[in-house]
Amino acid sequence: MPIQEQNIVFVESQVMDDVPEGGGAATGNVITDGVMNNVFEDISDLDRAYGRFNLRKIFLAVRTLSTDLYGGAKTVVTALPTDDALGYTLFSSGDPFDTRVQAADRVEAYLYKGPMWAGYLYENHIQGMRAINVIQKVGSVLPPVGKTLALVADEGVQGEVEQYVRVIKVQYAEQFFVDGTASDGSDIGFSRWIVTLTLSDALRFDFKGHSIKRADGDYKYTAGETRIRNTTVADATRYFGAQLLAVAANIGDLQVKAASQFTKLVPSAQTETPLVNQVLNPSVVVTMSAGTRDVDIAQQAHTLGREVTVENRRLNWIETLAPIPAPGTLSVAYRAQDNWYELLDNGSGQLVGSDPSIGAGTINYTTGAMSVTLGALPDAYSTVIMTWGSPVHYVSLVPEAAPAAEMIIAAPTLTDPIKPGTLVLTWQAGAVAKTASDNGSGALTGDASGTVDYAAPRITFAPVAMPDAGTNIGVAYTKAPATTGTPASNTVNVGAALAIYGVRAHIRLDLPDGSMGGGMLYDDGAGNLKLNPFSAEPQFVGGGSYYVGGTVVLGSVDYATGEIVVNGSVVVSLSEWSGNAWTYDAGPSVPATLDDLSYVLAAGASPGAANITVPAGETPEGMPTIRIDTLPITLVPNSLEFTYGGKTYQDRNGTLYADIDPVTGSGMPAGSVDYATRRATVTYAAPNASGTPVITSALGRYGDWTTTTAVFRTQLAPLKPESVSITAVAEGLGQINGVADADGVVAGAGFASGSVNYEFGVSSVVFTAPVDPASIRYNAVAYSYLPLDADILGIDPVRLPSDGRVPIYRPGDVVMVMHAADAAPQTVINGGTIDCGRTRIAWVRVTDATGASVATGYTLDRATGIVTFTDVTGIAMPVTVRHTVADLRQITDAQISGQLTLARPLTHAYPAGESIVASCLIHGDRRARVSATWDQATWSGTWSDALVGSEATATLDTIAHPISVTNEGAETERWLLRWTSTTNVELIGERRGLVYSGPFTADIAPINPRTRNTDGSGGVPYLSIPVAANGGGWSAGNVVRINTVGALADIWIARSIQQSDEPAGDGADGCELYALGNIDRP
**Cα–Cα distance, 859 to 459 (Å, whole number):** 112
User: Nearest to residue 1075, comparing CAs of 249, 2, 6, 1?
Assistant: 6
Where is pLDDT greater, at 542 or 457? 457
| Rounded CA separation 867/878 (Å) | 14
Lowest mean pLDDT among 323-332, 432-441, 661-670: 661-670
- Which position has the higher pLDDT, 910 or 3? 910
Q: What is the mean pLDDT of residues 1068-1078?
A: 90
The answer to whether 62 and 30 have CB atoms below 8 angstroms apart is: no
Reduced 3-state DSSP string for 1011-1040: HCCCCCCCCEECCEECHHHECCCCCCCCEE
> How confident is the model over 12-18, as a mean pLDDT?
96
Highest mean pLDDT among 593-607, 629-643, 796-810: 796-810
289 shares its domain with 316 = no
Residue 631 DSSP code: S
Pair (384, 459) in one structural domain:
no
Q: What is the CA radius of gyration of the chain?
A: 43
What 3-state DSSP class applies to 446? Answer: strand
In terms of DSSP H, where are the helices of 917-1061? none
635, 669, 703 - which closes a domain: 703
Q: Is residue 252 part of a domain?
A: no
Shared domain check, 613 and 547: yes
Higher pLDDT, 244 or 795: 244
* Domain presence at residue 538: yes
Domain limits at 34?
A: 5-107+809-925+1052-1078
Do residue 444 and residue 564 come from a single domain?
Answer: yes
| Residues forming a β-bridge with 529 | 523, 555
pLDDT at 424: 86
**DSSP string of 139-169?**
TPPPPPTT-EEEEEESTTSTT-EEEEEEEEE
Question: d(Cα 529, Cα 594) in Å, to the nearest integer?
Answer: 12
Question: Do 995 and 852 share a structural domain?
Answer: no
Q: How far is it, in rounded angstroms, from Cα 50 to Cα 803? A: 15
Whether pTM exceeds 0.75: no
For residue 709, list its beta bridge partners.
766
Cβ contacts of residue 58 below 8 Å, gap of 6+? 10, 11, 12, 13, 31, 39, 1051, 1053
- Structural domain contains residue 426: yes
Catalogue the long-range contacts made by 47-51 (C-beta closer than 8 Å, 24 or more residues apart).
Answer: 47/1057, 48/85, 48/1057, 48/1059, 48/1060, 48/1061, 48/1062, 49/1059, 50/788, 50/789, 50/792, 50/793, 50/1059, 51/267, 51/268, 51/269, 51/788, 51/793, 51/1057, 51/1058, 51/1059
Assess whether pLDDT exceeds 90 at residue 599.
no
CB 628 within 8 A of CB 641: no
pLDDT band at 616 (very low <50, low <70, confident <90, very high): very low
Higher pLDDT, 7 or 486: 7
Give the torsion through C-alpha atoms of 844, 850, 853, 857, to 10 deg: -80
Q: Which residue has the higher pLDDT, 134 or 760?
A: 134
Q: Is 143 in contact with 170 (CB distance < 8 Å)?
A: yes
**DSSP strands (E only) in 215-338:** 227-233, 242-247, 255-258, 262-264, 269-279, 284-289, 294-299, 302-307, 316-320, 331-336
- Name residue 627's beta-bridge partners: 406, 679
One domain for residues 373 and 460: no
Three-point CA angle 209, 213, 217, nearest 5°: 95
In the predicted model, what is the mean pLDDT of residues 838-857? 93
176: DSSP letter: E
Residue 632 lies in a domain: yes
- Reported as a single tens digit per residue, the pLDDT across 1033-1054 is 999 999 999 999 999 999 999 9
H-state helical runs in 109-248 = none
Predicted local distance difference test score (pLDDT) of residue 543: 55
CA distance readout (Å), 105 to 102, 111, 252, 288, 630: 5, 11, 42, 49, 64
Contact in structure between 1010 and 992 (CB atoms under 8 Å)? no
> pLDDT tens digit string along 58-109?
999 999 999 999 999 999 999 999 898 999 999 999 999 999 999 998 888 8
Q: Can you tell me the distance from the alpha carbon of 115 to that of 377, in angstroms, rounded to the nearest whole number?
A: 23
Q: For residue 746, what pLDDT is reported?
A: 94
Distance CA 906, CA 726 (A): 45
pLDDT at 403: 46
- In the three-class reduction of DSSP (H, G, I as helix; E, B as strand; rest coil), residue 216 is classed as helix
Residues 896, 1009: one domain? Answer: no
Q: Please check whether residues 423 and 547 belong to one and the same domain.
A: yes
Give the lowest-confidence range in 257-266, 565-574, 981-990: 565-574
Looking at per-residue confidence, does 175 or 416 come out higher?
175
Domain termination site, one of 703, 731, 754 = 703
Work out the number of other CB atoms within 10 angstroms of the CB of residue 338.
18
pLDDT at 584 over 50: yes
919 and 941 assigned to the same domain: no
- Predicted local confidence at residue 617, as pLDDT: 39
**Phi then psi for 105, rounded to 5 degrees?**
-60, -40
**Tally of structural domains, the chain:** 6
Task: Quote the pLDDT of residue 146.
Answer: 80
Same domain, 370 and 399: no
Q: How confident is the model at residue 618 (pLDDT cuts 50, 70, 90)?
A: very low
* Measured CA distances, 335 to 113, 724, 759 (Å): 20, 21, 12
Distance CA 163, CA 796 (A): 11
Residue 145 falls within a domain, yes or no? yes
> Rounded to whole angstroms, how far apart are CA atoms 202 and 998?
56
pLDDT (0 to 100) of residue 1082: 60
Please indicate, yes or no, whether residues 125 and 198 belong to a single structural domain of this protein.
yes
Q: Which of 317, 319, 277, 323 is nearest to 301 (CA)?
A: 323
Are residues 562 and 513 both part of a single domain?
yes
* Domain-embedded: residue 494: yes
DSSP single-letter state for residue 826: B
Q: For the ranges 10-19, 208-217, 438-447, 972-981, which has the lowest average pLDDT? A: 438-447
Question: Would you say residue 723 lies in a domain?
Answer: no
| pLDDT reading at 614 higher than 60 | no
pLDDT of residue 173: 92
- The CATH number of the domain holding residue 335 is 2.60.40
Q: Which amino acid is at 761?
A: G
Cβ contacts of 544 within 8 Å, gap of 6 or more: 703, 704
Return the ∠ at Cα 164 (arms to 158 and 168), rounded to 5°: 150
The residue from 555, 590, 620 where one domain ends is 620
Domain assignment present for residue 693? The answer is: yes
